[in-house]
Structure 1
Amino acid sequence: MLKKTALIFAFLTVFTAFHGFNADFAAPPDAFAVEADDHSLLSEGEYVISAYDNIIRSVSEREGNDWRLLSAIAYHESRFTPDAVSGRGARGLMQIMPVVARQFEVPADAVADPATNVWLANRLLKKIDTTLRFARNVPERDRMSIVLASYNGGIGHVSDARRLAGLYGENPDSWEVVARYLELKADSAYYENEAVKYGKFTGSRQTIAYVRDVMGRYDKYCRIARR
């Protein structure tokens, strides 16, 4: 679980170095604040997924994301532990790195707040999705899986895998295809290709397992909780 604490750091490092940062995704004053009644924690028997259902749902719905997916991510990142801190400094329900807070103009001392933590994760997912520039009508499950792979393994490596897929005449918007090229990025015959910008990738097993586990839990949450 905490081996993944560098995931968001990896994304932002790659993203800001090679793509810049779009101010449209930064936080205006109090943009991440939610109403007081949405901060209330639920007691056992009152919630469907976790005591943070109110927070995750209200923030995610406002950002246009499925709260059940964010809940699945929170489970795998922290087991819904709001004061979790990794050895690398990732904090909160979603294990947000300080660099992410800075990029989204959120004060460091606000990251521990569950609503702010969830807001940052939502914003990061949206930024990944926008940056990947999917073709129209991509199946939602493929889209989600590729975004999650970027969230975990870094958008640079995922972009490389998608470029390789296109180079070899395969669909860069298929998660099955992208996962295969992520694995091939450990092979010099692929990572030395001129289409590859971010070099060798040895974390494909972890990233593919992360996507599988989060999507599996998301499916479970979809069965027990309404959108």
Structure 2
Amino acid sequence: MLLALVPIAARADVWGYVDDKGVAHFATERIDERYELFFKSGENFNTADGVSARIETPRAVAVPTAPPKLLAFFDVSPSYKSVKHLLREAAMQHEIDYELLQALIATESGFDATAVSPRGAVGLMQVMPATAERYGVSSDKKTPVEKKLADPRTNIRTGSRYLRDLIRRFPGQLDLALAAYNAGEGAVQRAGNKIPNYRETQNYVKTVMQLYTVLKPPATVAEIRQPGRVRMEMPTGRIPGGVTGGAVGRGNMVPSLTQGPRTVATPEP
């Protein structure tokens, strides 16, 4: 079970390191020489080497890609915390893995609800206005579709419904469902029901799948809680920046990409 880290001020720096027992330690100041800058106040989490080696995602993302950093992101990120109840709701309603939604949104927008792509995709799940209209989100006299999609609840509901329909359209082929989410169903069909030969789409699918496998440990490992997992701890006592107390985090056992991730809803990690 994941124990949330104690709250960290939204604009505080976070320093950390992973010890030889696989415990990731975090603080709002550099306690000693072992600590490296995890992320700086007012900036995105960076994926520079430090704390531990990152996984190589083919597509640049606005979240950390080192496994312990990625897991810690979801403990300390205010933008994620503000919408995780919406992810839980969508995962249960549409029978999509919670961790899959996490990975997709991390790749699409880095949990920036105000993100707008050059092509006009809006919000957390980067939903196109035309797609939203297919699912009943339309402009009215006061509010255009684009503004409605900037609302996290509307965006996640719409994007999750679209993803659910794509998963059903390509049963047992999550990679094709993700490719269709990125490039459109038509592009996948024209490619002979394969991932289209677009570098952007191929990188997108690989990135979402890699983040997904980090976020979702195999069920058997989660149940028996084998040793070797990464834990996260905060120093005890009050330190500058307002952090108090201590906590431990979740397991981090990464399944093989060849196992084929499931698409059944799971409780919040």
TM-score (norm 2): 0.47
Secondary structure of 1:88 counterpart: coil
Map of 2:89 onto structure 1: 58
Q: Deviations over 1:41-84 (max 9, x none)?
A: xx984779932222111122111111211111111111100111
Alpha-carbon distance in 2 for matches of 1:71, 1:116: 16
- Given candidates 97, 116, 119, the residue that maps to 2:154 is 116
The structure whose Rg is larger is 2
Alpha-carbon distance in 1 for matches of 2:79, 2:116: 22
Alpha-carbon distance in 1 for matches of 2:119, 2:79: 28
**Identity of aligned pairs, percent?**
31
Q: Which has the higher strand share?
A: 2
Indicate the structure whose relative CO is greater, using CA pairs within 8 Å and at least 6 residues apart: 2
Q: Deviations over 1:121-168 (max 9, x none)?
A: 111112223334x4xxx4xxxx211100111122122123336xxxxx
One-letter code of the match for 1:124? Answer: Y
* Matched ranges for 1:46-85 at <5 A: 50-51=80-81, 52-85=83-116
Q: CA RMSD in A?
A: 2.9
One-letter code of the match for 1:221? Answer: L
Q: 1:46 to 1:75 in 2, by over 3 A?
A: closer
How far does residue 217 in structure 1 lie from its aligned partner after superposition? 0.3
Alpha-carbon distance in 2 for matches of 1:84, 1:72: 16
Structure 1: gaps spanning 5 or more residues: 3-42, 164-177, 184-202
Q: Which has the higher helix share?
A: 1
TM-score (norm 1): 0.55
Number of equivalences: 143
Q: 1:102 to 1:145 in 2, by over 3 A?
A: same
* Matched ranges for 1:1-227 at <5 A: 45=75, 50-51=80-81, 52-107=83-138, 108=145, 109-132=147-170, 134=171, 138=172, 143-162=173-192, 178-179=194-195, 182-183=196-197, 203=198, 205-223=199-217, 224=250, 227=267
